[in-house]
Structure 1
Amino acid sequence: MKLTNLFWGIWGLSCACLLLLSCAGQDEPGDVTPTQPGTVIRMEKPQYVFGFLGQDKYSYCPSALKQSDGSVHLFFCGNPQNQIMVDNIFHLKINPDGSQTEAKSVLQPGPSGSWDDHHTCDPSVVEGEFKWGDATYKYALFFLSNKYDVYYNEIGVAFSNSLGADTWVKYPTQIVKKTWSNDGDQLIGGGGKSWGVGQPSVVSLDGKGELLLTYTVGDISGTRIVWTRLDLSDVDNYTTSPPRTIVQSGLYDITGKARDYTCNSDFAIDQEADKIVMIRPVQPMPSDYPNYINASLEIDYMNLSDFMNNRGSWTPLYRINPEDTGYPRNHNAALLRDNFGHIENWELPEFYFTVSKAESDVQPSGGSHAEWTYHIWKSKLIEK
């Protein structure tokens, strides 16, 4: 495939929330009083984690699982071949001494004609007990994918009994399908197409098969994150609750004055403290190239019980800006969690995020694409 064709495929797939959709269907900002991020914490100096340095490859969309010995299993989205923008999910292990295993592709697009034969991206991994046929698996890996001949995305899941597995066993069909019933793309105003569903984030509610699954929806009704209870205890007979749009009160845009909308976010929970934490992009995206990824991220929290009853409001912990990271674009982030999606210190979370250079250091052509500067960094919030 030519790079120009593949570029447009990824450009609408995972890098941004919804590139060809307005935010139709969202609440109007109205009269809002922004809640400013806290003044008693700051962001620790970021540390470089991984990138395909010296190659025309990207690494972004991390999912980070901390182990009891201090090591971290990192899953992320990358492309195996230079300048060919076809997404695979990669894995590497970061040892307690900081050394890393070699990054390897562990989940790839399916065979031609399958629902997932184009891109495989946006991993979110959780531990549990997932019985499927005669086998019981310990880990589930949720991912976004799509068919080559359509624009929209859908969500799949794969299973393994080891976080370091070379391959994962895919469930054969989508676990979350697009929101419209007819075949093919959904057309929207201005000649655009609906983005579909994707960017999953999953946490365990019982340590077994009951999961809280959040994901982005982009359709004719607008852009939003929804959540559902997904029971994968018996994969052959899995159940889901009706999806509900997450609470958006307390979220503000880059100006801090207008209500923001949500997409492409990662979540972690502390059930004992009754808290859920979110790391999200702050809208709108900049107008200069690359104008499809965000400059800033924000970490917010609210009561988990309120979240699951669609009430209450988010409180910002910290807004991560280019001044904090040294990069003009900061996007596709993840909270450091344990294997069940639980967070160790919700008040001072650790997080992984993707950086990118911007115009005039990059341009949309050949070896100069912004994507080749997508590298993964990490930081945490600390007390001042």
Structure 2
Amino acid sequence: MSAAVAEPVVRRGRGWKTPIALGVFAVLALLLLVVFARDGVSTFSFTQTGTVALPDVHLPVRQTGLVLSIVAVLLALGSVPLQRRGGVPRWYVVVFALLLVIGFLAWATAGQRLPIVGLLTGSLALAAPLIFGALGGVLSERVGVVNIAIEGQLLAGAFVSAILASITHNLVVGLVGAVIAGVLVSFVLAALAIKYVVNQVIVGVVLNVLVLGLTTFLYETVLVPASSTLNAPPTFSNLPIPGLSLIPIVGAVLFDQSVVTYLMIIAVVVVWIGLTRTRWGLRLRAVGEHPQAADTVGIDVSRTRFWNVALAGAIVGLGGAYFTLGSVGSFTQNITSGAGYIALAAVIFGRWDPLRASAAGLLFGFASQVANILGIVGSPVPSDILLTLPYVVTIIAVAGLVGRVRGPAAAGRPYVKG
């Protein structure tokens, strides 16, 4: 009897995490937007060359902050009865977050002009490697192998793509090299984790350190002395899609991007369809949830895990190519700067679902682009704090909003037949 009574209490306690989080953020909004309010007008610009001109939106910062803070408090209070009726809807949290973002951007750009199109376009571009990494993480973990080595796969892809594209002056060769580099790192992960039953988390951490040390050594001893020939790859320019790229706002954000970003969009669709609508996806998920049952119906568990981990590495390797072929234009030490760990957080935040993990990657990419733009327009937020913004958002998202989630049941558990 006592156990039966205690169980609903435990569940209810877990469920109150969302209203509590909304309340905390509402209080923070009051402090920032009202107590430390700024004067002036923030201009949200929607200007886009070659399309229908959209009017700028002028927001009086102090009044906007006051109104949005009050609305945030009301929404936080309103989440309490919603939770009692069964839970706070996801759209409710999205609206709450959107209002706070608008309030913060208006406060941070008081007296300045904020290019909304540039903010969204840059967010998608910066999210590309995170989404590639998140997709690889989802595939790997859904098949039962915890992939901590996303950072190493990104770094290997960036390094190899820079060298091959520099030598051949061919971007396609660079992309292929990035894919191969990601697969090679995955082969090591798969061999040690699946065949030799080594702890998957330890293997992933070791691979990250190994790739970082190896690329740093080769960068200093090989690339630096011959930077003009081995570390000067061409980069992808934006490829606007005729007609679609002229659509106001959406055209610039989705249809005027580089090839790597288009590949990222295609990868999201293909992985989602494959994972949820195909026989391959059904087998993959079965191995990740219950390998014993999958084995009894004739699925080769080890082989399925091995090749899908390799496929995940290929996808992540493409994300590594973004850093050298789609952004910086050369390889530097630790060029990924922890992007693999943020991608891993996106996997958890997205609950091991390709679409949700991609949305989480977009969120983190948006945080990075906000930090970049605020640094350019002269925000009062110190530059050091701006640099930490993507990582702070990652911690808040995973620790404050995800709550208790269950990943694939067999993830991280080696399977030994018989």
User: Whose strand fraction is larger, Structure 1's or Structure 2's?
Assistant: 1
TM-score range, shorter chain: under 0.3
Q: Which has the larger radius of gyration?
A: 2
User: Whose helix fraction is larger, Structure 1's or Structure 2's?
Assistant: 2
| TM-score between both structures, scaled by the size of structure 2 | 0.21
Q: Which protein has greater RCO, CA pairs closer than 8 Å, 6+ apart?
A: 2
